Amino acid sequence: MNTRHGARIASLAFAVVLATALPALAQPSATPAAASPPRSPKVAETSAALRDLWVGHIFWVRNVVTATLANNTAARTASDKAAVANARQIAASIEPFYGKPASDQLFTLLAGHYGAVKQYLDAGTDKAKQDAAIKAMNDNVGEITTFLSAANPNLPKGAVLSIFAAHGGHHVTQIQQLRAKQYDQEAETWEAMKKHMYILADTLADAIAKQFPDKFI
């Protein structure tokens, strides 16, 4: 299969999920930040911390991908440990607001996300295995969406679904491009992934601040 064509096909699978959710995401992303009240220092600090954690997620997952494609077992093992540790940190970041059980549940969901990405990576060019991995990613997106939207009324299902489905699509595209040694294209994908993580982190920080205003005075 042509790799670029394969990436398009993989992305289309996520487009099916996004079809009904994109309008919900387009509204907040198209609204200038100036339209909202200025952020308090604590909200800005929380957003910056979450950005760092979520960029860490894509950084370590990318390292797992490159180590795997290079057949570097030691590098993959080290990167895998770091990716799991990062997921624990992301999950722990919500504990002060939602408690330990919710933090543990989020970690389980993040582990499912990471597991589906690795499943796609390890599928190689096997179409059936790729499709199974994409289904696992989509199922996990639904679970994360349900969890976050139930925890916080400021996280509507449509917006959360859009953010995480697009994030999964980025992973798929990146793996395809690195496998094909399309490094210039992958560099563009990496930049898009970082910006998307900023959106995700800012969305979470703003939603938490709205739900727990007393903690952000």
User: How confident is the model over 172-211, as pLDDT tens digits?
Assistant: 999 999 999 999 999 999 999 999 999 999 999 999 999 9
pTM for the model: 0.84
On the question of pLDDT at 57 being above 50, the answer is yes
- Angle among Cα 130, 176, 174 to the nearest 5 degrees reads 115
Q: Give me the DSSP letters along the chain.
A: --HHHHHHHHHHHHHHHHTTTHHHHHHHHHS-GGGSPPPPHHHHHHHHHHHHHHHHHHHHHHHHHHHHHTT-HHHHHHHHHHHHHHHHHHHHTTHHHH-HHHHHHHHHHHHHHHHHHHHHHHTTT-HHHHHHHHHHHHHHHHHHHHHHHHH-TTS-HHHHHHHHHHHHHHHHHHHHHHHTT-HHHHHHHHHHHHHHHHHHHHHHHHHHHHH-GGGG-
Contact 172, 10 (CB under 8 A): yes
Q: Is the pLDDT of residue 103 over 80?
A: yes
Contacts of 177 (CB under 8 A, 6+ apart): 3, 7, 183, 185, 186, 189
pLDDT of residue 37: 63
Nearest to 209 by CA among 34, 28, 47: 47
CB–CB of 170/193 below 8 Å? Answer: yes
Checking if the pLDDT of 5 tops 70, the result is no
